[in-house]
Chains A and B, each alone.
Chain A
């Protein structure tokens, strides 16, 4: 990218263009939607500058709900109001929904075959491993913060090992995190 700066970035021209842009993110994003969202919105269609995209993403990563789903709502709203939010979100999930439904129906037909079940279970276990890897990446800023590690470990134990309900764990964990952050421990 050259030095031309933010002027090269312009919002989508129409609601339809917005829908098609998010449709192309959904259609291609095998293995993770975030890199594709960046590629389409920042590099291909040039609707939003990289720094601006990072800001929006930071917000969406800790709002409840699917991260990139939230990005589609926030950006769709910014450009075309409520209609834009709806168009972007619908575009994002339209094709993946068709795909996942077809896969699920296909799998239902073979779910009794032990080999198929073994392969699919293996994929699921590896998918769980991807979450573990993601958590380790996210943990880098708190790696040397005893309070942060203790809160992360306690949250993990409560949800994963002792199977306490998230509705009970979330308020306590957030309150502890807030207390630690306020004392400069995070």
Chain B
């Protein structure tokens, strides 16, 4: 049954979402676009765009991807399945972690995750920024927004708005 499959998949995804939503975007896109064919890569990037244009945590993209894959109920299932397991882990680990404040393995573990999350988030950006493959238009828009974020302290909404204008002109 589609609803159960979506809930189960997003619950699994929740458990490996080290680095948050950006890290799981390549895997999510692989599943709904490449494996199941529930939407095109362009549609996936558009759903992400709608979620980015709303306030609040970007976890809301799971609701939109679920909705696009199997209707409103699937959207609710995807969002709750993605939030549930991660929230449970945060709930149980919170106290434990505070007690381990000075443990040497804690620092080593934190350091060991830095290159992993960097690679994952980079992959998330690449997959979302190339809905039509690696063409100069996408590279221009994504490169400009990445550079603005890296070098300035402007609100990211400006980069998204700029992306909308460039998208209108180029796509």
Q: Are the CB atoms of A31 and B157 closer together than 8 Å?
A: yes
Q: Per a CB cutoff under 8 Å, which of A103, A124, A131, A182 touches B54? A: A103
Interface string of B143-168 (1 = CB under 8 A from A): 11111111000011111111111111
Please tell me the size bucket of the interface on B.
35 or more
Judged by a CB distance under 8 angstroms, whether A50 is at the interface is no
Distance in angstroms between the alpha carbons of A177 and B112 in the assembled complex: 4
At the interface, is chain B mostly helix, strand, loop or mixed? helix
Which residues of chain B have C-beta atoms less than 8 A from A64's C-beta? Answer: 14-18, 85-86, 89
Q: Quick one: which of A135-150 are within 8 Å of B by CB?
A: 135-139, 141-142, 145, 147-149
Distance in angstroms between the alpha carbons of A136 and B22 in the assembled complex: 13
Q: Are the CB atoms of B17 and A122 closer together than 8 Å?
A: no
Distance in angstroms between the alpha carbons of A67 and B162 in the assembled complex: 26
Q: Are the CB atoms of B115 and A124 closer together than 8 Å?
A: no
Which residues of chain A have C-beta atoms less than 8 A from B146's C-beta? Answer: 129-130, 132-133, 136
Taking Cβ atoms with an 8 Å cutoff, the residues of A that contact B are: 26-33, 55, 58-70, 73-74, 77-78, 82, 85, 89, 92-93, 95-97, 99-101, 103-104, 107, 111, 115, 117-139, 141-142, 145, 147-149, 151-156, 158-161, 163, 165-167, 170, 173-174, 177-178, 180-182, 186
What are the 10 A-B residue pairs with the smallest beta carbon separation, nearest first? Answer: A122-B167, A126-B163, A65-B86, A96-B56, A155-B119, A128-B129, A131-B125, A133-B149, A129-B145, A128-B128
